Amino acid sequence: MGYFEALAQGLGNVLSFPNIMIPIAGTLIAMATSFLPGVGITGLAALLMLATINWEPESVLLLFGALTGGATFMGSITAILFNIPGNSSSAATLLDGHPLSKQGKAKMAIAASATASAMGSVVGVFVLMAAMPIVRPFILEFGPLERLLLGIWGLTTIVAVPNTSALKVLAVSFAGLLAAAIGHDPTTAMPRWSFGSYELFDGLDTIAMLLGFFTISEIIGWRKDFRISEVADMSAGGDGLRSGIWAVFRHYRLMIRSSLIGTVVGIIPGVGGTVAGFVAYGQAIQSAKTGRENFGKGDIRGLIAPESAIDAKDGGSLLPALAFGLPGSEAGIILVTVFMVHGLVPGTPMLTVNLDLTFTLVMALLLSNLLTSLVGVTIAPALARLTRLRIDRIALPVLIASLVTVVQLNGLLIDLYVAVAFGVFGYLLKHFEWPRVPFVIAFVLAGFIESNAALATQLFAVDKLSLFERPAAMVILALIAASLLWMLRQSGQPKDPHPAPPYAILLPSVLAVTSLVFSVMALTSSNGYSTYAIGLAVGATVAFVAVVIREWHVGVDHDRAAGDDVTGAGIPRSHLGPMIALAGFAAAIPLFGLEIAAGVLVALWRLGNTAKGGPLVTALYALLTALTTFYYVERFTTALLPTPIVPMPWY
């Protein structure tokens, strides 16, 4: 079967009736599922694989192509509206997406996100179709060295964060790399900074970290009558569907560039959407001719770039599974199994004799992405209204739901503590005007960089790798060099010109001591910490000590010292209530269990915020929360919850 004949056949398979109903249903199911806590799209796909075992291959590929495309976009909606990343891929989306919501431009942000996703998907699919005949040798060009360099390229986007002290950027980047190193060594599998707890063996969960770092830290800064959207009139300030859609076409070069980045990243097995999002975000800043300082504060370009890249990646990520039967992700594993169930052989046959089926899958993916975006634009006005709700009406339910369901991620209570700890840490960084994005980028990319660096080092040592024989590596190296050159050009600009308030030295001091403890542990442990791990800990210690010295050197601005409305540590007294409630919640879990602790959180929260209705209503809310949590834990979670110190009849 010829190329265009197969393409026409694939398109016909998708568009004919009743076939077209399958990707539509698959898309809607995937969109709905990605909103449900604890039900991942991969779990759903595994269930559907069994349910469709007797289907025709065309129908199955229509369904699974739609499932692959349907889930990606919905993670961005929660990121834009509530600062909650629906999946780790959407971490880059919230950097500018949520600030747009706070400016009252949620509708515009969702419309731009949906349009960028659709366009990214189209670019990704077209590149996929064009590359199909030549893709096999291309995929084999990407080994550990290329992936390592790609990760480093992503890391160089850290320096693209404008208006921040380079020293602080360096220090928090080290902190991010160090936090991600907790768990175990990827090569030797020896525990590393796990404090004897096997719950930490797999490291700190990215979703739990992001939830704390962005969502909980935001909620701590809650104030009464504060809305997510600070603009009362939602139709004002250019917040409209058309302006969101138009913004993507206005920045079409950025969209195409980001989509190509996403596609290439997708083709490389095992890289994933998170890297695609951050690399695209970084190049958006670096390529911006004007207004770089607006990134992170609600710049539409900071939303378009990651959204285009994340959806374009879906097309590229099909290639390794199709060309070699080598899945690069959990979704890919499902897809390869689907191939097997229905007698399809991944590899050359999928690109030759079964090319029509391959195009069926690709077209279903494209249709699904377009449909998801259409639904996204359609429901954008309704979703945008959520930002007009008073935050005191949604903050507590969001907080409780987040903290209780985060336990379901890995069945570990430690994820809840990780979320709370990073909530406080993220709040402190924000409050003391430290850059937060470098920490997140470093944390997300650290494991990827370390594991590929370890592999590349081993391959270099046995003469199996030579930089000069790897053209793809040379290209990425050139991109890194360009990124660093850009950084050097920027370094002349003054940053942090103001003397710090007296309490500003507290945070870097605490982080310096913490890093020092990590260094001592790494240097004295019998587990044999790698040079990389020791370097991170020592590097973080040196960087934070340097920040402390610099703060002393710059001097203290006593006018910015604590006043009546702030504590001695510079934290507004109005922010202490949520932090005390969270501390009480964390302390109540080992004492009374998760269910009662959830009730305690509600009670402390309401009491700390002079809630209406008095103690009786507060007690009623606390009881309802405890009962709901009990029901959720009993019916839906399979977590390893420790028996509380105070005996509870249901434990």
Q: Which stretches of the chain bind other proteins, using CB under 8 A?
A: 40, 42-43, 45-47, 49-50, 53, 140, 143-144, 184, 186-191, 194, 196-199, 201-202, 269-270, 320, 324-328, 330, 332-334, 336-337, 340-341, 345-349, 410-412, 451, 454-455, 458-459, 462, 464-465, 526-527, 638, 640
> Of 279 and 412, which CB lies nearer to other proteins in the complex structure?
412
Four-residue CA torsion sign, 87, 258, 488, 474: positive
Instruction: Estimate to the nearest angstrom the gap between the alpha carbon of 578 and the chain centroid.
Output: 24
Give every CB contact of residue 341 below 8 A, 6+ residues apart in sequence: 49, 53, 60
Give every CB contact of residue 176 below 8 A, 6+ residues apart in sequence: 438, 439, 440, 441, 442, 443, 446
> Of 190 and 375, which CB lies nearer to other proteins in the complex structure?
190
Q: How many Å apart are CA 514 and CA 518, to the nearest integer? A: 6
Q: How far is the CB of 155 from other proteins (least distance, A)?
A: 19
Q: How far is the CB of 185 from other proteins (least distance, A)?
A: 9
Four-residue CA torsion sign, 511, 513, 515, 518: negative
> Of 370 and 413, which CB lies nearer to other proteins in the complex structure?
413
Q: How far is the CB of 369 from other proteins (least distance, A)?
A: 22
Three-state secondary structure call for residue 347: coil
**CA of 28: how far to CAs of 53, 245, 351, in Å?**
21, 22, 29
Nearest 5°: CA angle at 349, between 336 and 52?
A: 40
Q: How far is the CB of 419 from other proteins (least distance, A)?
A: 15
> Of 459 and 487, which CB lies nearer to other proteins in the complex structure?
459
Q: How many Å apart are CA 491 and CA 473, to the nearest integer? A: 27
Q: Which residues pair with 500 in a beta bridge?
A: 556
Three-state secondary structure call for residue 288: coil
Q: How far is the CB of 639 from other proteins (least distance, A)?
A: 8
Type of residue numbered 100: L
Three-state secondary structure call for residue 229: coil
Q: Which residues pair with 566 in a beta bridge?
A: 572
Q: How far is the CB of 634 from other proteins (least distance, A)?
A: 9
> Of 126 and 636, which CB lies nearer to other proteins in the complex structure?
636
Are the beta carbons of 268 and 137 closer than 8 angstroms?
Answer: no
Q: Which H or E element spans position 183?
A: strand 183-184
Q: How far is the CB of 260 from other proteins (least distance, A)?
A: 23
Q: How far is the CB of 120 from other proteins (least distance, A)?
A: 25
Q: How far is the CB of 196 from other proteins (least distance, A)?
A: 5
Q: How far is the CB of 540 from other proteins (least distance, A)?
A: 22
Kindly state the tokens that stand for 380: 């954008």
Three-state secondary structure call for residue 518: helix
> Of 101 and 329, which CB lies nearer to other proteins in the complex structure?
329
Contacts by 569-574 with C-beta closer than 8 Å and gap 24+?
569/503, 569/506, 570/431, 570/432, 570/501, 570/503, 570/504, 570/506, 571/431, 574/223
Phi, psi values for residue 165, rounded to 5°: -70, 130
> Of 352 and 378, which CB lies nearer to other proteins in the complex structure?
352
> Of 49 and 546, which CB lies nearer to other proteins in the complex structure?
49
> Of 165 and 527, which CB lies nearer to other proteins in the complex structure?
527
> Of 237 and 411, which CB lies nearer to other proteins in the complex structure?
411
Q: How far is the CB of 262 from other proteins (least distance, A)?
A: 21
On the 0-12 / 13-18 / 19+ scale of CB atoms within 10 A, 16 is exposed
Three-state secondary structure call for residue 184: strand
> Of 183 and 572, which CB lies nearer to other proteins in the complex structure?
183
Three-state secondary structure call for residue 7: helix
Inter-axis angle of helices 273-287 and 252-267, to 10 degrees? 150
Q: How far is the CB of 263 from other proteins (least distance, A)?
A: 19
Closest CA relative to residue 471, chosen from 156, 155, 128, 140: 140
> Of 332 and 570, which CB lies nearer to other proteins in the complex structure?
332
